[in-house]
Structure 1
Amino acid sequence: MKKLKVIELFAGVGGFRLGLEATDKFKVVWSNQWEPSTKTQHASLVYEARFGKSNHSNTDISEVPIDTIPDADILVGGFPCQDYSVATTLQNSKGLIGKKGVLWWSIHRILSEKKNPPKYLFLENVDRLLKSPSTQRGRDFAIMLKSLDDLGYAVEWRVINAADYGMPQRRRRIFFIGYHKSTLPFKTLKNAKANDWIFKLSTISHAFPITSTNSKINSFKITDDLVALSENFNVGEQLSPFQNTGYFIDGSVHTTKTTAVYDGKRVVLGDILEKEPVEEEFYIPESDYPKWEYLKGAKKEVRKAKSGFTYNYSEGSMIFPDALDNASRTIITGEGGKSPSRFKHVIQTSKGLRRLTPKEVERLNMFPENHTALNGISNTKRVFFMGNALVVGVVQKIGKSLFDKIHSS
């Protein structure tokens, strides 16, 4: 069976590509990775070293001419979480522009300007997207759904914690799949009952089974144009109307809260550790133990702001050192480096306390061994990449399910 052609945006070091191509059902035909804040394009260098320079673009995606992007079946990417509000242009009150530099509108531009836009979308973001911004809970997601609806796509979404399905890291992310109205899955979705689609028929539920939390499916319309949505959606409400699972088609949202169903093998932090001995730089000097213990411990203290204002500060304690018999906590971009930190992982070994190595952090995201190891790329930078990456196993399972959905509809 022919492989589906993929455009990979915001490619980082290639997590989407690894997951999709591992199924042997997808082929990336064009990729883009651009980091605006650094002169050296470290992630792009790693990407090119692993997958080759051919058909890879290291240019600001908002400036890439649309006619240089090849046609593909599916567009994928983990785009940054930003402020998605829109505004009318001065010349045309109906014309819309997203805020400059907001990368969602680069996806939108490709979908709206390509003669043959991809029929399917597979995107990822942080789960707070469902309730951003705090002043208009859910507005950003509503803008995104409506902008895709305007372009002829239906969307299904789910917040997935990789560890709920036996993977080695507690990493919660929202994944969503778009189906163009010209596709059979779109027509299947249009004719399905909400309950059947969410729990039995959807691409993501096939990959990651769920059960209801006894909350009913909430349905509502999003019919405003993007400007009105941007200004008025959910104003004054405390909660987002979007739950962790749902779909949107022809202006109608159907959403409910679900929980994971899984009773298979579970990989825990202890399973992914390198055999000792590990390089000396990862061991914490005993003289630093008190600093780590303070940062990880519970606090109730009076603190003083730069303005001179004093306030009561409190936070709970964290497990220290990290438990080896559970999936790891979420890897963040600041995981690397020697300085003591509340959020970095610390494990107990026979030689004392140490931090995680880049290879171990790669394993927590289910990347191949030393995927980010490259001359000129520091250990701190390697771990930074993984703080931005996704869990490859999640992409692989959803990708296989999407391929099956496309070919069975």
Structure 2
Amino acid sequence: MIYGSVCSGVEAATVAWHPLGWEPQWFSEIEKFPSAVLHHHYPNVPNYGDMTAFKEWPNDPIDLFVGGTPCQSFSVAGLRKGLSDPRGNLMLTYLAIAAKYQPKWLVWENVPGVLSSNKGRDFGTFLRALGELGYGFSWRSLDAQYFSVAQRRRRVFVVGYAGDWKRAAAVLFERESLSGHPAPSQETREEIAGTIAASSFTGGPSGKPEGAAVNHFVPAVSNALCARDYKGARPEADQDTASCIAFGAQNSASQGDSVSKHVTPTLDKSKTPAVATHSVAGIIISHSGFSNSINHAAAGYMALQHMQVRRLTPTECERLQGFPDNYTQIPYRNKTAESCPDGPRYKAMGNSMAVPVMRWIGERINMVENLI
């Protein structure tokens, strides 16, 4: 399978599909660091850069066209300007490139917010245009946590096939089991776990914040956690919680995160991920939840707390997305790989697709190609 890729990033698709024997014909990436990663790993594959200049690209045939156009204009975390945002309009550029090359297969990815952007009309415009280009298509929301990575990362995937929607549907949809339906053990639970409360600094069996809870262990483990900023409302956990969570790092020692039933944050270029770990030397914390510093004098009795917060390393972020260790640790800006800056590596992982999800899609396409 020969494919072309736009908004390539650091090429989760190529990492996923190389074991299948698939080969990239070209990439299209404009950011400097991801482009350097592509050149480092795939020096013989041309990077055409700006995808809006596609009319100048060679007409080399491809079997599949893949891309995850910018999600910021559709994300619920942004202004949600949809197709009125130039970044959102790259969705239409993706369609124009598909019309130019007319590949047999299409794979497109975006955030779940695309489904509700402009009351669903933006996504409807995209699907209608696919049909006008002669593609049958299917779409499905896939969550990376069910593909062996340790984060919940839900994304919308559209698969198109020239002239036949059944083949596209055969890629994304499968029977729930070989016979019958399995127990819904992986579904999100809605019932409340007793009266257990958990938060950043307090938690107690009465259902109200009381007592110390930073090192407190709540016995059972839920399949979904959420970290909230301590500056705002602090929802108490309404289902069992795990003893270890990941959350966004704060610059101030006076702020913490509380726990609710939803999810730990996925990788995000705008916020450094962090984890709570046991420290070598204890940190002195007052009962008010603040530590003494130049700018703040903690009140009340003091307690020795054997925990500290550290960042997730770039390598850990690569693992969360299914990449090989140190995949983004490359020589960059006249520096050795060992001196590669962390910032661009975090951003690249936050913008990437999850490799195991892309591998599953590739395997399903191979299956359809071999069986139909």
Q: Same fold (TM over 0.5)?
A: yes
What are the equivalent positions in structure 2 for 1:27-176 lying under 5 Å apart? 27-35=23-31, 41-52=32-43, 54-81=44-71, 82=73, 83=81, 85=83, 102-114=89-101, 117-133=102-118, 137-176=119-158
8 Å contact from structure 1 (residues 298, 316) kept in 2: no
How many percent of aligned residue pairs carry the same amino acid? 25
Distance 1:68 1:84, change over 3 A: farther
SS in 1 for 2:364: helix
**Per-residue CA distance 1:1-20 (angstroms, 9 max, x = gap):** xxx10101111011111111
SS in 1 for 2:173: helix
8 Å contact from structure 1 (residues 30, 69) kept in 2: no
Match of residue 277 from structure 2: 348
Structure 1, 354-363 or 369-378: larger mean CA deviation: 369-378
Whole-Å separation in 2 of the counterparts to 1:129 and 1:100 = 13
**Per-residue CA distance 1:284-315 (angstroms, 9 max, x = gap):** xxxxx9xxxx973263xxxxxxxxxxxxxx45
Distance 1:334 1:405, change over 3 A: same
8 Å contact from structure 1 (residues 209, 260) kept in 2: no
1:403 equivalent to 2:366? Answer: yes
**Per-residue CA distance 1:19-49 (angstroms, 9 max, x = gap):** 1113x231111111113xxxxx111011110
Whole-Å separation in 2 of the counterparts to 1:320 and 1:189 = 41
8 Å contact from structure 1 (residues 19, 393) kept in 2: yes
**Per-residue CA distance 1:108-166 (angstroms, 9 max, x = gap):** 2222233xx10100111111111112xxx111110000011110011111111111344
8 Å contact from structure 2 (residues 83, 89) kept in 1: no
Unmatched segments (≥5 aa) in structure 2 = 74-80, 188-213, 215-226, 247-261, 281-307, 333-339
**Per-residue CA distance 1:69-111 (angstroms, 9 max, x = gap):** 421100011111335548xxxxxxxxxxx96882112212222
8 Å contact from structure 2 (residues 105, 162) kept in 1: yes
- Give the aligned CA root-mean-square deviation in angstroms: 3.4
Q: Between Structure 1 and Structure 2, which shows a larger proportion of strand residues?
A: 1
8 Å contact from structure 1 (residues 44, 58) kept in 2: no
TM-score by length of 2: 0.64
**Per-residue CA distance 1:40-59 (angstroms, 9 max, x = gap):** x111011110111x232242
Match of residue 266 from structure 1: none
SS in 2 for 1:32: coil
Higher RCO (CA < 8 A, seq sep 6+): 1
Match of residue 266 from structure 2: 330
Whole-Å separation in 2 of the counterparts to 1:209 and 1:121 = 25
Match of residue 251 from structure 2: none
Give 1:379's aligned amino acid: D
Whole-Å separation in 1 of the counterparts to 2:327 and 2:87 = 33
